[in-house]
Every structure is written in C-alpha cells, then in structure tokens.
C-alpha cells in the first residue's frame, strides 16, 4: 500500500514539475487535472478551468468541432491527434492565440478512460522562424538596392568616359576616377557576397540544428504514449530527459544566433557594476551542474592568496556570465562521462583571471588557428551538436570588456581556456596616473 502511495506521489511530483504543459480530460472533454506549466501557459489558475470543457482553451474555429471529434473517435477509434501529435493553436485567458505541439495519449483505467495531453509551446520557435524570414527579406531588398546603385554608377561612368574621349588630359583623369570607382564597386560586391554567404549559412545552420532536437522531441513524445503502466516509469523518465535536453539545445541555438545578431549590429551595450566575481562564478557553476553528464564533476578553485572572498571588481556581470556559461558548457559538452572540469579564479589588483580546464577530446593542432572563426567546427567535433558560433561570440564579448582570451589544448588530453578581464575602476585610475606623469 505504501509502495502504491509512493508511486502516486512520485507521479504527482513529476506531473507538477514538468516543464511542458500536461492536461487530463475525461471522455466528455471535461478537464480533470492541470499541471503548473499548463496553468502558466494558458494564464488560468487550475481551479478556474478544472471541471470545464477543454474547448475553453481553443480558438472558436477549433472549439466548436472538438466535441464532435471526441464522439467520432470514441465510436470509430480513428485518431487525428490521439497517439499521433501535431501542431495546433491554443487560446489563453487573455484571448491571445499561440501555437504549440500537442501529443495526446489515451489511458484506460479500471473505472474509466482518460486522455492526457502534452503541450510544448512553439511561440519562441515561431518567433525565430519569423525573424529568419524577415532577415531574408531584408537581405534580398538590400541586394536589389545595391544592384540598382551599381547599375547607376556603371552608367554614370560610361557616360563620363564618352564625354572625355576627345580630351587626352581629361581622359586620363576620367580613367583614374574610373579605377577608383571600380575598386569601390569591387569592395561593395565583395561585401554583398559576404552578406549572401552569411545569409545562406545562417538559414542552413538554423534549419539543420532545429530539425534534430525537434525530431527527438517528437519521437520521445510518441514513445511516452506507449508506456502506460507504473512499471514503465523509468522509460517515461528517460524520454522526458531527452525532451528537456532537446529544448535546452534549441534555446542554446537561439541564444547563439541572437547574441551574434546583437554583436554584429552593435546593439550590445556594456553596463558596468561593482560585484563579487567569486559569487558570479559560483552561481554559474551551480546553474550548469544540471547539465553535467553521468559522473562528471566541476571543481571550483579560487586561489587562496587572491583575496577572492573580499575583492569586488567593476565590469559588466551579465556579459561576463555569458562568457563563463559558454566556456563551461563547452567543457561539459566536449568531455566524456566521468570527466573533470576545473574552474580557477584569481583576482588581482587591476584585473581578474578565469581558467576553465577539462580533460576532454582536445583540439587538433591544424584546427586551432581557426577556433574563433564564425561557424567553425573542429574536425573531431563535427558529430557533436553545436552552431560553431559560441567561441566567436565569446571572443567578441571579451573584446567588448577590453579583456583577452587564450587557450592551450592537446588532442585527446583536454583544453584550458583563460580569460583576463580588467577592473575598469583600477584600469581608469592607472590611465589617469600615466597621463599625469607624462604631463
């Protein structure tokens, strides 16, 4: 009896803690249970919708057909959603309509049959798709505009050349001007080619990287449908972990692309604050412990003589946090199970130094010179998920903070990345002191 109660409590805890929304209904479409994620997603308190028909969560054009679909399914057992899953739209309490992926399973209990829906919000993915589409349209417009400008410039040059044919001196001047224009045009064309290549790689990378985690989510949701008994809880939990991992991967891809866009367009602003780097580093490590592989370990080693516990610095903690998250996440990603990641912090008078060391796969010598290039992936990492943007973004973040980054790596023997970030207050005082001495 206690074992059954424990199982029920565990299932209830999983139900309430799931990151995706979960709603159960009876054969009449009446809502019986709603987890926290679904409650937040639709904007209702669970008590507001429990006992109501599930069609209150649907736009009108879908809600009016829902009861008929339930009746047809119970008669014919021909499924359109149940056991299949598809993209649908939901309606929040505010009236806002949003897209999500719905997978429904039928659970036959001793006394009744219930239906459980798993709801994964697609709003961010749709926003990213719209942004990609918008960027593509903007790039195409720019190409058209540049082409029109180039045509006008060429026509002007031809007209000028014809006017100066009869005068040798003027012709020489015109030829010089033509040469300068040609150089400018070549630079402009090269820039357009670079933009075109960046657009193509951007779209190709996004399409490829989104496809794999989405497929994993879809297959895991479908497999969860097959595990209906309490004895199969381990299998369900395994696929829930896969779903969570895939969602984390998608979020990482979006963050990489959005970070790259901010840096490239110069929209990233630096906000200096006085903060404790020890607390920042510890919080990042605690946050990333949730993505450690089996038996992996993170060791934090603030050097005792550095005064870390008492020394604060002046820099941008948000940018520095993004740098640390990227470097430590890479160490976890490229280190096998049972691996060790060591994070070292030293706080000096005018700057701080972070080192992230792993005993992972290392970087081939021939690849190291390209490591910070945009979209570059080392030859031994092509089968590991990633966008090739992380280290490029890290280097630009470090440069924005007037810092430096270096690394040492040996193939199959791990890598160590070291970043040095100046204390802006100490750095500013030192510059002022130097100016006074010179004067």
Both 106 and 232 in one domain: the answer is no
Both 162 and 279 in one domain: the answer is no
Concatenating the DSSP letter of every residue in 285-325 gives HHHHGGGPPTT-EEEEEE-GGGTTTT--EEE-HHHHHHHHH
Q: Is the pLDDT of residue 131 over 50?
A: yes
| 331/324 Cα distance (integer angstroms) | 11
Q: What is the CATH number of the domain that holds 297?
A: 3.30.565.10
User: For the chain, how many structural domains are there in total?
Assistant: 3
Q: What is the pTM of this model?
A: 0.47
In a domain, 130, yes or no: yes
In a domain, 439, yes or no: no
* Greater model confidence, 158 or 206: 158
* Greater model confidence, 99 or 3: 99
Both 115 and 139 in one domain: the answer is no
Q: Give 67-123 pLDDT, tens digit per residue.
A: 677 766 767 676 666 777 788 889 999 999 999 988 888 888 888 888 888 999 888
Range of the domain at 68: 2-121
Q: What mean pLDDT comes out for the span 399-403? A: 93
Residue that is last in its domain, among 73, 88, 121: 121
Q: What is the CATH number of the domain that holds 69?
A: 3.30.450.20
In a domain, 438, yes or no: no
DSSP designation for 2: H
Percentage of the chain lying above the pLDDT 70 cut: 76
* Measured torsion, CA atoms of residues 53, 121, 325, 315, in degrees rounded to the nearest 10: -90
Concatenating the DSSP letter of every residue in 33-89 gives EE-HHHHHHHT--HHHHTTSBGGGGS-HHHHHHHHHHHHHHHHH---SSBTT-EEEE
Taking a C-beta distance cutoff of 8 angstroms, is the pair 380, 411 a contact? Answer: yes
Q: What SS3 class is residue 386?
A: coil
Q: Is the pLDDT of residue 252 over 70?
A: no
The structure tokens listed for 377 are 């992936």
Both 129 and 246 in one domain: the answer is yes
Both 134 and 256 in one domain: the answer is yes
Residue that is last in its domain, among 264, 291, 306: 264
Residue 408 phi, psi (nearest 5): -130, 130
Residue 143: its pLDDT value, please?
83
Q: Give 154-171 pLDDT, tens digit per residue.
A: 788 777 767 767 677 777
Average pLDDT, the chain: 80
- Give the DSSP H or E segment for 434: helix 424-438
Both 210 and 232 in one domain: the answer is yes
Residue 77 phi, psi (nearest 5): 60, 20
Both 104 and 159 in one domain: the answer is no
Both 329 and 291 in one domain: the answer is yes
In a domain, 436, yes or no: no
| 217/120 Cα distance (integer angstroms) | 9
Both 88 and 177 in one domain: the answer is no
Both 157 and 295 in one domain: the answer is no
| 5/28 Cα distance (integer angstroms) | 28
- Which is it for strands 340-347 and 297-302: parallel, antiparallel or unpaired? parallel
Contacts of 351 (CB under 8 A, 6+ apart): 403, 420, 421, 422, 423, 426, 427
* Greater model confidence, 267 or 331: 331
Both 338 and 415 in one domain: the answer is yes
Residue that is last in its domain, among 121, 144, 178: 121
Both 74 and 202 in one domain: the answer is no
- Among 374, 378, 382, which residue's Cα sits nearest to residue 410? 378
In a domain, 328, yes or no: yes
| 400/270 Cα distance (integer angstroms) | 8
Burial 282-300 (b: 16+ CB within 10 A, else e): eebbeebeeeeeeebebee
In a domain, 437, yes or no: no
In a domain, 326, yes or no: yes
């Amino acid at each position: 009896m206690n074992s059954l109660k424990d199982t029920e409590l565990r299932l209830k805890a999983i139900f309430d803690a799931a990151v995706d929304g979960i709603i159960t209904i009876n054969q009449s479409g009446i809502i019986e249970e709603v987890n926290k994620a679904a409650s937040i997603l639709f904007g209702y308190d669970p008590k507001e919708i429990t006992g109501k028909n599930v069609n209150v969560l649907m736009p009108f054009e879908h809600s009016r057909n829902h009861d008929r679909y339930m009746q047809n399914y119970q008669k014919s057992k021909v499924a359109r959603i149940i056991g299949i899953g598809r993209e649908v739209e939901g309606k929040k309490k505010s009236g806002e309509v949003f897209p999500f992926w719905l997978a429904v399973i039928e659970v036959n209990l001793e006394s009744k049959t219930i239906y459980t829906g798993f709801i994964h919000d697609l709003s961010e993915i749709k926003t990213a798709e719209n942004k990609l589409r918008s960027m593509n349209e903007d790039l195409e417009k720019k190409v058209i505009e540049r082409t029109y400008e180039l045509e006008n410039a060429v026509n002007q040059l031809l007209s000028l050349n014809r006017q100066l044919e009869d005068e040798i001196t003027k012709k020489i001047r015109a030829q010089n001007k033509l040469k300068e224009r040609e150089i400018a045009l070549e630079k402009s064309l090269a820039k357009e080619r670079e933009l075109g290549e960046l657009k193509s790689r951007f779209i190709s990378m996004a399409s490829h990287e989104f496809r794999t985690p989405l497929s994993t989510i879809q297959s895991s949701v479908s497999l969860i449908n097959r595990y209906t008994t309490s004895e199969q809880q381990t299998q369900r939990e395994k696929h829930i972990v896969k779903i969570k991992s895939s969602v984390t991967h998608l979020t990482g891809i979006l963050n990489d692309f959005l970070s790259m866009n901010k840096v490239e367009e110069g929209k990233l602003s630096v906000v200096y604050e006085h903060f404790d780097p020890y607390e920042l580093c510890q919080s990042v490590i605690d946050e990333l412990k949730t993505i450690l592989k089996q038996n992996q370990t993170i060791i934090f080693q603030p050097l005792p003589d550095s005064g870390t516990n008492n020394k604060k610095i002046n820099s941008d903690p948000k940018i520095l946090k993004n740098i640390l998250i990227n470097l430590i996440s890479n160490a976890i990603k490229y280190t096998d199970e049972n691996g060790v990641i060591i994070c070292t912090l030293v706080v000096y008078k005018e700057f701080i130094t972070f080192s992230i060391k792993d005993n992972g796969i290392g970087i081939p010598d021939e690849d190291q010179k390209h490591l910070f290039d945009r979209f570059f992936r080392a030859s031994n990492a092509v089968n590991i998920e990633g966008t090739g943007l992380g280290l490029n973004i890290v280097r630009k973040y470090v440069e924005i903070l007037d810092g430096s980054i270096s690394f040492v790596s040996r193939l199959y023997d791990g890598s160590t990345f070291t970043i040095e970030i100046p204390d802006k207050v100490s750095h500013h005082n030192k510059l002022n002191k130097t100016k006074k001495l010179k004067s």
